[in-house]
Amino acid sequence: MTKVKAWLNAARLRTLPLSISGIIVGTALAAYYGVTNITIFALALCTTIGLQVTSNFANDYGDGVKGTDGDDRIGPKRALQSGLLSAAELKKGIYISIIINAVLIVSLIITSFGLKEILYPILFLMLGSFAIWAAIKYTVGKSAYGYQGLGDVFVFIFFGLVSVLGSMFLYVKFISLISVLPSIAIGLLSVGVLNLNNMRDIKSDAAVGKNTLAVKMGLSRAKNYHYTILVLSFLCLFCFLLTTNASQLRYVSLVGYIPVLVHLRKVALTNKAADLDPELKKLALSTFFIAILFFISYYYFL
């Protein structure tokens, strides 16, 4: 395998649709309030993709040096685990991606707020720095929060609240109370993807001391948790749709929950954690599909 393919493997491009779902929803919310800006949209997408790639590099590196990614790991082989990249190469890649992220974050802030504002740029610089920190500390270091069962909390915050509400704020410079509902919906769907990943790896993670929430709860309770967060996601989005006065086509985004319902049935009928692996892609793409349908209904058919 060439180095380019090795880096693409480490970047885990399949995770990118889920990562940008919140930006798509936040942009649609801004359009609902009458504001669109293609430059902000493009920079927000690039920034989010950059942060996700950094997280993927750091995850590969952190789990690799800790020995978490053993031969018994289910799912795609990691770059460090399979020897495609060395620890030193991955570490260098993390540093380079951090620099790229910093440039993108500053560019996005300047585009959104200009050079006259002071407070908002400072707040978003702090938020961007925290996002970079969170992307790395999920698995890297002795105090990696992913090993302490806190991954779900951070995913909910950054893939849901920050991604949706933060991107919306970049356009309209305010956050409405009702807009919190779709941010919760996307956040819970994203947590569902992580929980599915953790249920799949429950045995291998427990063996190496990676105490994810799924490891702490056990497979049966992790399944119940999974059902709960996905149903709550649907209810949050449905309540938002009920309380807005856009076109009736806004309800089309609920169609995206049909494959989620099929997914829930599959999870309920699956007794082996390893058999959950194919469901990861399905739930991630379903989340992206919901975001796209939401974008179409609120961006084009107000």
**With 60 as the cut, is the pLDDT of residue 75 above it?**
no
The closest of 56, 62, 73, 15 to 273, measured between CA atoms, is: 73
Task: Say what percent of the chain tops pLDDT 70.
Answer: 93
**With 80 as the cut, is the pLDDT of residue 247 above it?**
no
**With 60 as the cut, is the pLDDT of residue 258 above it?**
yes
Average confidence score pLDDT of the chain: 90
Instruction: State the pLDDT confidence band at 254, using cuts at 50, 70 and 90.
Output: very high
For residues 51-75, average pLDDT: 75
Instruction: State the pLDDT confidence band at 144, using cuts at 50, 70 and 90.
Output: confident
The whole-number pLDDT of residue 11 equals 83
**With 80 as the cut, is the pLDDT of residue 139 above it?**
yes
**With 90 as the cut, is the pLDDT of residue 8 above it?**
no
Instruction: State the pLDDT confidence band at 68, using cuts at 50, 70 and 90.
Output: low
pLDDT tens column, 177-213? 999 999 999 999 999 999 999 999 898 888 888 899 9
The whole-number pLDDT of residue 112 equals 96
**With 70 as the cut, is the pLDDT of residue 74 above it?**
no
pLDDT tens column, 277-298? 899 999 999 999 999 999 999 8
Burial 51-89 (b: 16+ CB within 10 A, else e): bbbbbbbbbbbbbbebebbeeebbeeebbbbeebbeeeb
The token pair at 201 is: 């790896």
Instruction: State the pLDDT confidence band at 47, using cuts at 50, 70 and 90.
Output: very high
Separation of alpha carbons 114 and 118, rounded Å: 9
**With 90 as the cut, is the pLDDT of residue 238 above it?**
yes
The whole-number pLDDT of residue 160 equals 96
63 versus 157: the higher-pLDDT residue is: 157
pLDDT tens column, 103-121? 999 999 999 999 888 899 9
The whole-number pLDDT of residue 7 equals 84
Concatenated DSSP letters for 215-270?
Answer: HHH-HHHHHHHHHHHHHHHHHHHHHHHHH--S-GGGGGGGGGHHHHHHHHHHHHH-
The whole-number pLDDT of residue 252 equals 92
For residues 45-67, average pLDDT: 87
